[in-house]
Structure 1
Amino acid sequence: MIGSKRVRLIPVAEDASVTQLELFFDLVLVFAFTMVTDLAAEDPSAVNVLRAFLVLAVMWWLWIAYSWLGNVVRADEGFTRVAMFAAMGAAFIAALAVPEAFHDLPGGWYGPLVFAIAYLAVRLVHLTVFWLASAEDAQLRGQVARWALGSISIGTTLLVVAALTSGAVQIGLWIAAIAGDMLWTLLSGDDWRVNSAGHFAERYGLIIIVALGESIVATGVGVAGLPISWPIALGSLLGLAISGLLWWAYFDMAALAVEHEFRRATGERQIRIARNSYTYWHFPMIVGIIALSLGLKKVLYYVGDASHHTLHDALTGIPLYALYGGVVLYLVALIGFKHYATRQISATRPITAAALLALIPLAAALPALAALALLCAVLVAMIAWETVRFAENRDAIRHGA
């Protein structure tokens, strides 16, 4: 127990699981991911997609802060419970302000500043609880102090300044805020704590499920209100299948192999796996899934809106690159995630990623639904090959055979 009974913080046990309050917290991220997808889909231009990416990066950095905190003190006990609800409120306001993160809409509060201040509030709540949690741990207290010195001042201050600017200067400040925050976290030291490797791995696995769930929601919302038809049914099932195949690619072997190494590691090596394999390599996975969501949404719009498109229309431009490129980015991040922890790379996934990039010109010439089916077929081939080719390794990892 840390602190007095009035401000009680309960350390996370080694065999802990993710708490229900942490899952509740993640619902805010579900909404934020949806808002980011909508922001990109509203105007799929290069500049607007960049803005959506930057908002996603900020919301990701918000989430990872609490993934580390929840591994040190129980999220659902004592003062931390109250802090989590306060952070959820501020994060929800930030998510609501996503459409206005870069430019204010008529009426109401000034959107960019609301987003920046809400984000600042979430970070300050996190810092306060971490500071209290490190009261009896000099090493952790030093790490928190070093991290906060640069991370809070860079990441949050530049966003507040960016809210008062516009155009290229505003985007430049956002990039500087995110890059500076991520770089400072990397360089600020390895004196963090991982109280429960199982809890930490589970937390990141669940956020992958959250993101994949958002891709399914985006697929359904894209055709909401349209009369059901065979193109909509087929496109929806293909989208669901692709999300399921990405789930398989992560959870069937890769996540378990990394978790086994993570549990065996100690000291700085364990901290670095937590930071690099999980915190850093999971971000491009999330970006890839959100990009996929944008592509799926556009495909379903093409096949469902007969007044503007026909079944022969091809998916082109940024939506096509988001559809295929999102899956490629996800696979590349999976390779990096596993390699950092295990030093192993399966040739199947780099080959699949390269094949998908090579198939983009063909996909651009096909009807949108056919391009989606081609993407699904390539992923089915990858998963089927891995399941047969690595059957013994798979049994060993999953069942200890």
Structure 2
Amino acid sequence: MIGTKRVRFQPMAEGASVTQLELFFDLVLVFAFTMVTALAAGDTSAKNILRALLVLAVMWWVWIAYAWIGNVVRADEGITRVAMFFAMGGAFLAALTIPEAFDDMAGGWFGPLVFAIAYLLVRVVHLGVFLLASAEDAQLRGQVVRWGLGSITIGTTLLVIAAMTDGAVQIGLWIAAIVGDMLWTMLAGEDWRLNSATHFAERHGLIIIVALGESIVSIGIGVAGLPISWPIALASMLGLAVSGLLWWAYFDVAALSVEHELKRAEGERQIKIARNCYTYWHFPMVVGIIALSLGLKKVLYYVGDSAHHTLKDALYGIPLFALYGGVVIYLLALVGFKHYATRTITVPRVVAAALLLALTPLASALPALASLVMLCVVLIGLILWETVRYARPRDEIRHGTHAG
């Protein structure tokens, strides 16, 4: 690419890594995840948890859109760089408005409409960049046009309409916007381009780290302003251990296995792995981690706030199901993620998820700290079993014949 065209776009090269600008873009998602956790923690009713999930889905779709465009053209070059900063502005404004995404607060702008318009801005900028970037690629241009016509119409228009409603109608429109957008993306075709499998896998691995980082932040927020004590120290270390074990479950083998398959695949099969394993299966992983964040935040509050709780108090209701259920969702999503690419089911993770579900009633009868201990013990057992039982294939995937 020469002349003025180089100023406009630079294709992402095979084997390229994530750019620094994309990492900067992710800082907005760090803030958005924190806001979603705060929204859920503020009111743990089923209605509010559903709202938090819907907001998370919208912010996920913001991130996904720019993960794909960043794999076609470099995010830090030419027009794309400018577009990324505009998108960051829109995404940050949407994240700031998360507390008002459904109900407007007194004073200021009308929150629900601000959120919807900010999201619309992010999506329009993304579509515009994709159309310009595909100007000389008829196949990609056709795919972008097909996808854009339905996605923008469904995913953004319905949210703008939802901003003018309330109650069940509003929730219904949000669900229709998100589900419709995801279904349209799946049905719009497989004529996308994947210029760098390495970049794509690394990009999604980093968002898992971002989400896990939120779980660690939640530990600190849960005891903010409280004097350090042995229950706080122990609960904090256990929470950090749980987050670390989830990191291990993703990065030790699963992520590498799928990345190898993504690199080997060609054509439509490669696009399907990229879309289904990363765009779709990563979303429930993030949901699980954010749910865990809510549970950890509540556990730390229970063990640290001696004025309102004792160490004998049990975690119950939605916070307990967030703690255990979040890990269950994460593990099952990891199984689905790996299965689609490799056609193998990681049975120990299914067993661990089933065991955690079975232990949830017992956890509701135990002190909150004991429930966290039990969760940590199950995850340690899972990781130890996999490390020992699958030592040889694990070594091959990490260091041997599968590498590359």
TM-score > 0.5, shorter chain as reference: yes
For the pair 1:101 / 2:101, whether they are aligned, the reply is yes
Deviation string 1:112-156 (CA, Å, 9 cap, x unpaired) is: 000000000000110010000000000000000000010000000
Aligned twin of 1:150 = 150
- Cα distance in 2, alignment partners of residues 39 and 255 from structure 1: 30
Within-5 A mapping of 1:69-80: 69-80=69-80
For the pair 1:176 / 2:176, whether they are aligned, the reply is yes
- Cα distance in 2, alignment partners of residues 6 and 161 from structure 1: 40
The Cα of 1:7 is off from its aligned counterpart by 5.4
Aligned twin of 2:118 = 118
CA contact (8 A) 1:2 1:135 kept: no
Aligned twin of 1:313 = 313
Aligned twin of 2:189 = 189
For the pair 1:280 / 2:295, whether they are aligned, the reply is no
Aligned twin of 2:224 = 224
CA contact (8 A) 1:3 1:132 kept: no
RMSD: 1.0
Aligned twin of 2:375 = 375
The Cα of 1:15 is off from its aligned counterpart by 1.5
TM-score scaled by length of structure 2: 0.98
Unaligned runs of at least 5 residues, structure 1: none
The 3-state SS of whatever aligns with 2:4 is coil
Aligned twin of 2:323 = 323
The 3-state SS of whatever aligns with 1:14 is coil
CA contact (8 A) 2:7 2:77 kept: no
Aligned twin of 1:56 = 56
For the pair 1:336 / 2:323, whether they are aligned, the reply is no
Aligned twin of 2:41 = 41
Deviation string 1:255-288 (CA, Å, 9 cap, x unpaired) is: 0000001100000000000000010000000000
Deviation string 1:68-123 (CA, Å, 9 cap, x unpaired) is: 00000000001110100010011000000000000000111100000000000000
**Structure 1 residue identity aligned to 2:10:** I
Aligned twin of 1:81 = 81
CA contact (8 A) 1:102 1:166 kept: yes
Aligned twin of 1:395 = 395
Aligned twin of 1:17 = 17
The Cα of 1:203 is off from its aligned counterpart by 0.2
- Cα distance in 1, alignment partners of residues 109 and 204 from structure 2: 34
**Structure 2 residue identity aligned to 1:162:** A
The Cα of 1:8 is off from its aligned counterpart by 1.0
**Structure 1 residue identity aligned to 2:20:** Q
The Cα of 1:346 is off from its aligned counterpart by 1.9
The Cα of 1:3 is off from its aligned counterpart by 8.6
Aligned twin of 2:133 = 133
Within-5 A mapping of 1:337-356: 337-356=337-356
The Cα of 1:298 is off from its aligned counterpart by 0.3
Identity %: 79
Deviation string 1:178-227 (CA, Å, 9 cap, x unpaired) is: 00000000000000000000000000000000000011001111111100
TM-score scaled by length of structure 1: 0.99
**Structure 1 residue identity aligned to 2:201:** A
The Cα of 1:5 is off from its aligned counterpart by 4.4
The Cα of 1:4 is off from its aligned counterpart by 3.2
CA contact (8 A) 1:223 1:301 kept: yes
**Structure 2 residue identity aligned to 1:152:** I
The Cα of 1:345 is off from its aligned counterpart by 1.0
CA contact (8 A) 1:292 1:324 kept: yes
**Structure 1 residue identity aligned to 2:74:** R
- Cα distance in 1, alignment partners of residues 15 and 256 from structure 2: 16
Change (3 A) 1:154 1:390: same
The Cα of 1:170 is off from its aligned counterpart by 0.3
Deviation string 1:220-260 (CA, Å, 9 cap, x unpaired) is: 11111100000110111100000000000000000000000
CA contact (8 A) 1:2 1:11 kept: no
For the pair 1:363 / 2:363, whether they are aligned, the reply is yes
The number of aligned residues is: 401
For the pair 1:238 / 2:238, whether they are aligned, the reply is yes
**Structure 2 residue identity aligned to 1:50:** L
Aligned twin of 1:67 = 67
**Structure 1 residue identity aligned to 2:75:** A
- Cα distance in 2, alignment partners of residues 156 and 237 from structure 1: 42
**Structure 2 residue identity aligned to 1:308:** H
**Structure 2 residue identity aligned to 1:171:** I
Aligned twin of 1:259 = 259
CA contact (8 A) 2:288 2:330 kept: yes
For the pair 1:296 / 2:292, whether they are aligned, the reply is no
**Structure 2 residue identity aligned to 1:322:** A
Change (3 A) 1:102 1:196: same
- Cα distance in 2, alignment partners of residues 203 and 5 from structure 1: 26
The 3-state SS of whatever aligns with 1:191 is coil
CA contact (8 A) 2:302 2:310 kept: yes
- Cα distance in 1, alignment partners of residues 308 and 221 from structure 2: 18
- Cα distance in 1, alignment partners of residues 42 and 305 from structure 2: 16
- Cα distance in 2, alignment partners of residues 188 and 4 from structure 1: 32
Deviation string 1:46-73 (CA, Å, 9 cap, x unpaired) is: 0000000000000001100000000000
The 3-state SS of whatever aligns with 2:72 is coil
- Cα distance in 2, alignment partners of residues 73 and 6 from structure 1: 11
The Cα of 1:334 is off from its aligned counterpart by 0.1
Unaligned runs of at least 5 residues, structure 2: none
Deviation string 1:285-305 (CA, Å, 9 cap, x unpaired) is: 000000000000000010011
Change (3 A) 1:3 1:147: farther
